[in-house]
């Protein structure tokens, strides 16, 4: 979805992950709260930072070809599920979910 010239990877936020972000934005009432809006903007910034070092985050316990970026603290941790397509230098953000939720199934990523 967004990349800067000279960056190693293109970060592609899938339509599923876009829906997750939109749901999260509404859930935390980012439109009505400055603090929530700042939190949301920092989350998006962290997602886009994957263009630099996408392999810095651990693989998921559910599937070894998928990684997750953990964002937040305590009960407010969210998992950004993504895969790195090395051949094309693309980071594909697949799903964003609350960290306390049960493990995902691959069908959850579609």
- Residue 92's domain spans which residues? 10-109
Half-sphere exposure of residue 29, counting CA atoms within 13 Å on the CB side? 3
CATH number (domain holding residue 68): 3.30.2310.20
Q: How confident is the model at residue 3 (pLDDT cuts 50, 70, 90)?
A: very low
What's the domain count of the chain? Answer: 1
Q: What predicted TM-score, i.e. pTM, was given to this entire model?
A: 0.85
DSSP for residue 59 = B
Residue located via tokens 């895969």: 83
Q: What is the pLDDT of residues 65-81, one digit of tens each?
A: 999 999 998 888 999 99
Q: How confident is the model at residue 28 (pLDDT cuts 50, 70, 90)?
A: very high
In a domain, 4, yes or no: no
Contacts of 104 (CB under 8 A, 6+ apart): 60, 62, 81, 95, 97
Q: How confident is the model at residue 16 (pLDDT cuts 50, 70, 90)?
A: very high
């Amino acid at each position: 979805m967004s990349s800067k010239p000279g960056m190693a990877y293109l970060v592609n936020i899938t339509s599923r992950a876009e829906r997750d972000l939109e749901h999260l934005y509404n859930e935390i009432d980012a439109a009505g709260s400055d603090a929530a809006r700042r939190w949301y903007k920092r989350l998006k910034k962290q997602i886009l930072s994957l263009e630099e070092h996408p392999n810095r985050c651990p693989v998921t316990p559910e599937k070894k070809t998928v990684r997750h970026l953990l964002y937040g603290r305590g009960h407010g941790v969210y998992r950004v599920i993504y895969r790195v397509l090395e051949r094309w230098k693309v980071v594909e953000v697949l799903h964003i979910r609350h960290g306390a939720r049960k493990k995902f199934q691959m069908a959850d990523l579609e």
